[in-house]
Amino acid sequence: MSAPRTPSSPQTSQTSQASQASQASPPKRGRGSGAVSLYAVFFLNGLVLASWAPRIPQVKEQLQLSDGQLGLALLGVALGSVPAMPTAGALVNRFGSRAVARSAVLVYAAAIALPGLAGSLPELLASLAVLGAAVGALDVAMNAHAVDLERSSGRTRISSFHALFSAGALAGALFGTLAAAGGVTPRAQFAVTAVVSLLAAGVAAATLRPSAHQYEHKHQHHDETEPARENELGREPEPGRAPGQKREPVRTRPSRFTPRLLLLSALGLCVLLIEGVVTDWGSVYLADSLHAAPGPAGAGYVAFALAMTVGRLYGDRAANRFGPARVVRIGALLTVAGSVVTLATGRPVVAVAFFALIGLGVAASFPLVVSAASRLHTGSPGTAVATVSTTGYFAFLAGPPLVGFLAEHSSVRAALLILPVLAVATALLAPLLRAEGRATTTHRPAPQTASRR
C-alpha cells in the first residue's frame, strides 16, 4: 500500500509556486542584465588582437622576414580560426554561447603572449594559429550572444557591441603604438597585454549571463523529465495532458545554406577583408612605402580604429533611420574614396587621415550583416551567425597573407589596390540588407509549465 498523501500547507504551496515561476521565467536580458559583461568581452576581443597589429613591422624586422614570409606567418591566424568557427557554432547550439565565450576569452587573452616568444617563422606561424583558434571561437560565441539580446529588444543594437570591439581595438592600437615609440620590445608588450587581459577576462567570464538558448535547453530537459516527478510527488498533471505523459519538446528546423545566407556571407567577406588588410598591412605600408617612423606608422591603424569606434557608436541609429542597405552602400563609397587617396599620396599624415575615412566607411557594415543573418529562417541563429562569421573572418585573416603574396611579386602599394575593388563589391551587395529590414522581436515558444505569468 502506498502512503497517504499529505496535503501541502498554504505556505509550502506558495513557496512551490514561486519556485516554479522563477524557473519558468527566462533570464531578463538588457543593458543591466549581462549586457555589460558582453560589452567587456567585445572590448577585450578588439584590444588583444589590435595590440599585435602595430608591432608587426618590428616582429618582421626581428625575425628578418620578407613580405611573402610575413604573409605566410599571418596565415597562421586563419589556419587556427577557420576550423574553430564552425566547431564553436555547433558548441553554441549544444551548450549555449556563454560556455563557449567564457572558455575562449580566457585562452585568447593568454595566447597574445605567444607571438612575442617566437624566434623563427614556424614558431610565429604556430603561435598565431593558437591565437586564431581562440579568437575564432570567441567571435562566434559573442556574436550569437549579441544577436540574442538584439532580438529580445526588438531594435537594431548590434553595432553598439561592435563599437566596444572597435574601442578595444583603439585601446590596443594606442598601447602598441606607444610601446613601439618608447622602445618597448614586442615580447614585453605582449606579456603585459596577456596578464592584464587575463584579469579582465576572468571577471567578464564570471559575470556573463546565460543566453536564451541555454534557458530553452535547460527547460526542454525539465519538461521531458517533469512527468516522472509528478507521479513521484503525487502532483496533478496539467490540463490536457494525461498523468505521466511527456511534454512535447521545443524543436527547431535544421539549418539550411540558403542563397541569401551565402550572399550575406560574401558581403561579410568583402567587408572583413578590407578590415583585415588595413589591420595587418596599414602600418607596414606607412613604414615601408612611405618611410614613416615606428610611432607614426602605428598611427594609421589608430586612426582607422578610432573612426570605426565612432561609426559603430552611431551605426545602430543610422540603420534604424535610413535602413541598413543605405548605410552599408554609403560606407562603401567612403571606403573607395579613402583607399584611393591613401594609395595615391606620398605623405604619411595624409595617408593616416584617409585611413580614418576607410574605418568610418566599413564601421557599421559587418554588424549589420550579422544581424541580418540571425533573422534568416535557416533554423538556429547560432549556425547562421557561425556561417557568416566563418566566411567573413576567413577573409579577415586570410586576406593579409594574400596581400603579402601580391606584395612579394609587386609592391605593398600595388597589393593594396584590392581595397577599392572590395569596396565597390560591397556597394553592389548592399541591397541584400534591404530585404531583411530592421530587427524585430522573435517570439520563442514558451516552456509549458504549471505556473506561468
pLDDT tens for each residue of 11-66: 444 444 444 444 444 554 444 445 788 899 999 999 998 899 889 888 999 999 98
Q: How far apart are CA 78 and CA 403, in angstroms?
A: 14
Q: Can you tell me the mean pLDDT for 262-291?
A: 89
Q: How far is CA 337 from CA 207, 244, 272, 355, in A?
A: 43, 68, 18, 10
Task: Identify which of 193, 179, 169, 383 has the alpha carbon closest to the alpha carbon of residue 276.
Answer: 169
Q: Can you tell me the mean pLDDT for 101-123?
A: 93
Predicted local confidence at residue 93, as pLDDT: 83
Predicted local confidence at residue 32, as pLDDT: 46
Q: Can you tell me the mean pLDDT for 374-381?
A: 63
pTM (predicted TM-score): 0.66
Quickly state the pLDDT bin for 442 (edges 50, 70, 90).
very low
Q: pLDDT of 154-198, one tens digit each? A: 666 777 888 888 889 889 988 998 998 888 999 999 999 999 999
Contact 51, 172 (CB under 8 A): yes
Quickly state the pLDDT bin for 362 (edges 50, 70, 90).
very high
Q: pLDDT averaged over the chain?
A: 78
Return the top range by mean pLDDT from 191-195, 255-259, 316-320: 191-195
Task: Identify which of 61, 55, 71 has the alpha carbon closest to the alpha carbon of residue 412.
Answer: 71
Q: Which residue has the higher pLDDT, 104 or 375?
A: 104
User: Which range is least confidently modeled, 92-96, 124-128, 199-203, 219-223?
Assistant: 219-223
Predicted local confidence at residue 435, as pLDDT: 54
Contact 112, 48 (CB under 8 A): yes
Predicted local confidence at residue 444, as pLDDT: 40
Residue type, 348: P
Quickly state the pLDDT bin for 280 (edges 50, 70, 90).
confident
Statement: residue 247 has pLDDT above 60: no
Statement: residue 79 has pLDDT above 60: yes
Query: Using H for helix, E for strand and C for coil, what is the string for 114-145?
Result: HHHHCCCHHHHHHHHHHHHHHHHHHHHHHHHH
Predicted local confidence at residue 185, as pLDDT: 93
Packing angle of the helix pair 158-181, 365-374 (nearest 10 deg): 140
